[in-house]
Structure 1
Amino acid sequence: MLDIPLWKRIVIWGLIALGLAFALPNAFYSRVEGHNDALAEIETLGATPERTAAAAGWPDWMPNSLVNLGLDLRGGAHLLAEVQVTEVYADRVDGMWPEVRDALREARDEVGTIRRIEGEPGTLAFRISKPEAMARALEIVRGLARPVVTLTGVGASDIAVAGDGDTITLSLTPEEQAATDDRTMQQSVEIIRRRVDEVGTREPTIQRQGADRILIQVPGIGSASELKELIGTTAQLTFHPVVGRTTDSTQSPGPRQLVLPSVDEEGVFYIVEQTPVVTGEELVDAQPAFDQNGRPAVNFRFNPSGARKFGDYTAENIGSPFAIVLDNEVISAPVIQSHIPGGSGIITGQFSVEESTNLAVLLRAGALPAGMTFLEERTIGPELGQDSIDAGRIACIVAFGAVLVFMVLSYGLFGVFANIALILNVGLLFGLLSMIGATLTLPGIAGIVLTIGMAVDANVLIFERIREELKTARGPARAIELGYERALSAIVDANITTFIVSVILFTLGSGPVRGFSITLGLGILTSVFTAIFVTRLIIVTWFERRRPKTIEV
Structure 2
Amino acid sequence: MLYFTRWKTVLIWLAVLAGVFFAIPNVLPVSFLARIPAWIPHKQMTLGLDLQGGSHILLQLDHKDLIHDRMNATRDDIRTKLRNARIGYTGLVASGKSIQVRITDPKQLDAARKALESLTQPIASGLFGGGSVQETAESEPGNNVLRYTLTDEGINYRISSAITKSIEVVSRRVNELGTTEPIIQRQGTDRILVQVPGLQDPDRLKEILGKTAKLTFQMVDQSGS
TM-score normalized by the length of structure 2? 0.73
User: Residue in 1 aligned with 2:217?
Assistant: 371
- Residues 226/170 of structure 1: CA separation in 2 closer, same or farther (3 Å cut): same
RMSD value over aligned CA atoms?
3.4
Matches within 5 A, 1:233-252: 233=210, 235-236=212-213
Deviations 1:47-92 (A, max 9, x none): xxxxxxxxx5444554432211111111112223322134212223
For residues 103 and 193 of structure 1, what CA distance do their matches in structure 2 show?
38
User: Residue in 2 aligned with 1:219?
Assistant: 197
How big is the shift at 1:195?
1.4
- Residues 162/23 of structure 1: CA separation in 2 closer, same or farther (3 Å cut): same
Letter in 2 for 1:216: V
8 A contact 1:113–1:129 mirrored in 2: yes
Matches within 5 A, 1:28-47: 28-31=28-31
- Residues 29/118 of structure 1: CA separation in 2 closer, same or farther (3 Å cut): farther
Q: After superposing the two structures, state which structure 1 stretch, 181-190 or 90-99, moved more.
A: 90-99
8 A contact 1:81–1:375 mirrored in 2: no
For residues 100 and 42 of structure 2, what CA distance do their matches in structure 1 show?
60
For residues 22 and 55 of structure 2, what CA distance do their matches in structure 1 show?
29
Residue 108 of structure 2: which of 118, 126, 133 is its match? 133
Deviations 1:86-105 (A, max 9, x none): 42122234234454444333
Deviations 1:102-159 (A, max 9, x none): 4333432xxx224573311444444432244323312331234233522258464221
User: Residue in 1 aligned with 2:10?
Assistant: none
8 A contact 1:93–1:171 mirrored in 2: no
Deviations 1:354-385 (A, max 9, x none): xxxxxxxxxxxxx42x12132226xxxxxxxx
Extract unaligned runs of 5+ from structure 1: 5-12, 36-55, 237-366, 378-553
8 A contact 1:138–1:163 mirrored in 2: no
Matches within 5 A, 1:149-548: 149=125, 150-151=127-128, 154=131, 156-164=133-141, 165-231=143-209, 233=210, 235-236=212-213, 367-368=214-215, 370-376=216-222
User: Residue in 2 aligned with 1:402?
Assistant: none
Deviations 1:388-410 (A, max 9, x none): xxxxxxxxxxxxxxxxxxxxxxx
How big is the shift at 1:193?
2.3
Letter in 2 for 1:194: R
For residues 373 and 122 of structure 1, what CA distance do their matches in structure 2 show?
25
What SS does the aligned partner of 1:195 have?
helix
**Is the aligned partner of 1:84 residue 2:68?**
no
- Residues 371/81 of structure 1: CA separation in 2 closer, same or farther (3 Å cut): closer
Matches within 5 A, 1:11-160: 22-31=22-31, 56-60=34-38, 62-108=40-86, 112-114=87-89, 117-144=92-119, 145-149=121-125, 150-151=127-128, 154=131, 156-160=133-137
Rg larger in structure? 1
User: Residue in 2 aligned with 1:343?
Assistant: none
Larger relative contact order (CA 8 Å, sep ≥ 6): 2
What SS does the aligned partner of 1:68 have?
coil
- Residues 168/25 of structure 1: CA separation in 2 closer, same or farther (3 Å cut): same
For residues 183 and 201 of structure 1, what CA distance do their matches in structure 2 show?
27
- Residues 30/135 of structure 1: CA separation in 2 closer, same or farther (3 Å cut): same
8 A contact 2:71–2:99 mirrored in 1: yes
Letter in 1 for 2:122: R
8 A contact 2:82–2:115 mirrored in 1: yes
Structure with greater proportional strand content: 2
For residues 124 and 21 of structure 1, what CA distance do their matches in structure 2 show?
68
For residues 102 and 228 of structure 1, what CA distance do their matches in structure 2 show?
38
User: Residue in 1 aligned with 2:11?
Assistant: none
8 A contact 2:58–2:220 mirrored in 1: yes
Extract unaligned runs of 5+ from structure 2: 8-13
Number of positions where the alignment pairs a residue of Structure 1 with one of Structure 2:
209
8 A contact 1:207–1:214 mirrored in 2: yes
Letter in 1 for 2:118: G
TM-score normalized by the length of structure 1? 0.33
For residues 154 and 128 of structure 2, what CA distance do their matches in structure 1 show?
12
What SS does the aligned partner of 2:56 have?
strand
- Residues 207/155 of structure 1: CA separation in 2 closer, same or farther (3 Å cut): closer
Letter in 1 for 2:28: F
- Percent of residue pairs identical: 30
